[in-house]
Structure 1
Amino acid sequence: MNFKPSFLLKNRHLQTVYASLFRRLPIKNFEIEKFRLSDGDFLECYWQKIDNHQKDTPIVILFHGLAGSYKSPYVQGTMQELKEAGFSSVVMHFRGCSGKENLKPRSYHSGDTQDAYEFINSVKKRYPQAKLFAVGFSLGANMLLKLLGERKSDCILSAAVAVSAPMLLDVCAAHMNKGFSKFYQKLLLKDLKRDLDKKYDKFPMQKLIHLKRSDIKKLKTFWAFDEAYTAPIHGFSSAQDYYTKSSSRQFLKFITIPTLIIHAKDDPFMPSDILPTHNEISPTIKLEISEYGGHVGFISGSLFHPEYWMEKRIVKFCKTFLE
């Protein structure tokens, strides 16, 4: 099931932004769960169950990308495809990503596996007879791969899929500050800086991270933002320390469950040398690397009649573990 786009969809930027610009998905009636975390904070998890959900209905947990949410086209499209195939699904929003501010000065980051671990365990306790799967996109994919490697054989998932994971965070952060990738960096930083600014209304942020509120606008790169906020608020000594400890590539050899990694060599968010070599991955990992696909794109069909290959591939992979 190799990914091959039509000639007009071979452009990496078109693959990356096509769905955001041209895809209109109806926002479904989600069942919203407020999930309490062990540190007193909360996550909002948006469920979409099949009509005749049973106690053994398979469940797929989705982890969105940086500044993503249930509104992201790749999340909605995947949930729709899963529902049609008989899976119930839930998108776990990282702290503060559902539109409701979280209760702590801290936020979320690429290597923050604890919240996801707590939520996965909670779902398993509620549905002990259901097979559980997880799908991560971009930042969520890096987090998921790290989680799978950390937990090794303790993992309670049946299988997992990681799409467009930034497996070496420092390399990706440097790459985002070059050429046209700066455009994506600027868009994503706008959301991150807005959310950080709001935290100054509720918390003594200047005392906590030694950054004046007026200096937030001076943070022009991911590296600067992570140095100023992500690293200190989450207990890292620097942005480099955060990137080194949170990059998922070093965890791949410890993964014990069937895991599909979907990646495009032309991803504008990262160079292809972030990809692992075959001796860095465990035997349970299936690497599917395509020449084209952009970042969380993978759109086949034609420009006016697109087909969302990635979503179909995710469903096909998960279905193989239902027999």
Structure 2
Amino acid sequence: MFQISPIMREPDPKIINAAAAIPLDAKTGLPPLPAGVAPFKPPFLMRHHMVQTILASLKFRKRGRNPMVDAGEDMILTCDDGVRLKGNYSRHPDNKALVILLHGWEGSQDSTYVVTAGRRVYERGASVFRLNYRDHGDSHDLNEGLFYSTLFNEVFDAVKQAAKLSEGAPVYIVGFSLGGNFALRIARSLRDLTIHNLKHIFAISPVVDPWGAAPLVDLNPMYQRYFLKKWTRSLRKKQALYPHLYDFKDLLAQKTVLGMTERLLPTYSEFPDMKSYFDSYRVDKRDLENCPVPISLITAADDGMIPVENLLGLKLNHKARRIIHAHGGHNGFFQSLMGPTWYDDYIELVMKQNAL
């Protein structure tokens, strides 16, 4: 049985200094912000990392009319090896740009942080494509096979197809958490592959080293309950659709996310253990060094799910920005209760600099 070792939530300055590929600010212990990038300074009562993280997913933030949702049209994309992925396309009449949004694990096109980020850019004249991964967004019936975070080819193919909807307008990719990991792997692939008219990739709270991040989910009772509930519901749905392929009885009896993962992999995947699985979608130190497209990596030192030293160790080129705030939690960065978030403003700034 996999044993969870004690992991400090607060970043250790010694570990950060050892991991850093760049000089750190003597006062903050973090990399200096790139020129022209505003610091994130949340109100005192919203500074705690859990407050920031919880706000990212609260449904009340989606209340009210959303013109992006009103304009949305569900689409099924046929991807690599005949895999079908569901997405939603909201074409703006002005079509100044196309923003492709990638959600986190057990999220969907309807996740609060996806919907609100999409609404913001849509209101600025951009079209929006919200992609669902396999077995996400109520799409379990589209494919017999299970979702794994390693399924990069089908996600890349779907993003490439979605980019063709831009009609020549600039294309931007915004990924959150696991979606940030997919976004960085897309960036890595651009050394050899292309996505038409792609101008910038934003990775918000991205998973860089899954083996280092995975235990943190089970160390926090709130994170653990959240993901256990969502993943259990997803697996039950898959089992009901394909009872001849899946029997998750033993797996669903596990009380931890890592316990479920440990039972799932040897039976239903090509991976013999968790280490080999998690390492297979890790972003390595030099993976982004030669990416020809500008990247913005945005994270918080107090993120309870992503160790900040993972991002500090990455070697980046002059087109990339590594933005690490002291606060922000996971997918948070709220400046007020209802938003906008810091990254909403930052994405808009970058798009304006590119004339959308």
TM range (shorter): 0.7 to 0.9
Residue among 43, 50, 53 paired with 1:13? 50
- The 5 A counterparts of 1:111-260 are 111-127=150-166, 129-152=168-191, 154-156=193-195, 157-178=198-219, 181-201=220-240, 202-206=242-246, 212-229=247-264, 233-250=268-285, 251-260=287-296
Letter paired with 2:80: S
1:276 to 302, 307, 312: 312
Q: Answer with 163-172 or 193-202: which moved more.
A: 193-202
Q: Could you tell me whether the CA contact under 8 Å between 2:88 and 2:109 is conserved in 1?
A: yes
Moved more, 26-35 or 9-18: 26-35
1:317 to 332, 336, 350: 350
Q: Deviations over 1:204-246 (max 9, x none)?
A: 345xxxxx53212233333233333357645323211111120
Alpha carbons 2:85, 2:158 under 8 Å: kept: no
User: Matched residue of 1:253: which SS?
Assistant: coil
Query: Does the C-alpha gap of structure 1 residues 121 and 275 become closer, same or farther in structure 2, counting only changes over 3 Å?
Result: closer
Q: Secondary structure at the match of 1:266?
A: coil
**Which of 299, 315, 321 does residue 263 from structure 1 map onto?**
299
Secondary structure in 2 aligned to 1:71?
coil
1:31 counterpart = 2:73: yes
Counterpart of 2:91 (choices 44, 49, 56) is 49
Contact (CA 8 Å) 1:58, 1:87: kept in 2 or not? Answer: yes
Question: TM-score, structure 2 length as denominator?
Answer: 0.80
**Retained in 2: the 8 A contact 1:231–1:242?**
no
The answer for the alignment partner of 1:294 in structure 2 is 329
- CA distance change for structure 1 residues 283 and 224 in 2, over 3 Å: closer, same or farther? farther
* 8 Å contact kept, 2:99–2:128: yes
Using the TM superposition, give the Cα deviation of residue 319 of structure 1 relative to its aligned residue in structure 2, in angstroms: 2.8
Q: Which moved more, 1:308-317 or 1:160-169?
A: 308-317
Deviations along 1:58-109, whole A, 9 cap, x unmatched? 2111100111112211111111111122211111111121213243343333
Provide, for residues 18-43 of structure 1, a one-character-per-residue CA deviation record: whole Å limited to 9, x for no partner: 24334233452211111122323321
1:3/1:13 CA distance change after superposition, 3 Å: same
For residue 310 of structure 1, report the CA deviation from its aligned partner.
1.9
Aligned-residue offset at 1:175: 1.9
Does the CA contact (< 8 Å) of 1:136 and 1:163 recur in 2? yes
Q: CA RMSD in A?
A: 2.3
CA contact (8 A) 1:64 1:140 kept: yes
Measured in 1, the distance between the counterparts of 2:349 and 2:146 equals 34
Percent of aligned positions that are identical? 25
User: What secondary structure sits across from 1:31 in the alignment?
Assistant: strand
Assess, with a 3 A threshold, how the Cα gap between structure 1 residues 40 and 20 changes in structure 2: closer, same or farther: same
Instruction: Identify if the C-alpha distance between structure 1 residues 18 and 115 changes in structure 2 by more than 3 Å, giving closer, same or farther.
Output: same
**What TM-score results when the alignment is normalised by the length of structure 1?**
0.87
Counterpart pick for 1:308 among 341, 352, 355: 341
Q: Is the 8 A contact 1:48 1:79 kept in 2?
A: no
Answer yes or no: is the 8 Å Cα contact 1:262–1:288 preserved in 2.
yes
| Structure 1: segments with no counterpart, 5+ residues | 207-211
1:3 paired residue number: 40
Stretches of structure 2 that go unaligned for 5 or more consecutive residues are 1-37
Aligned residues: 310
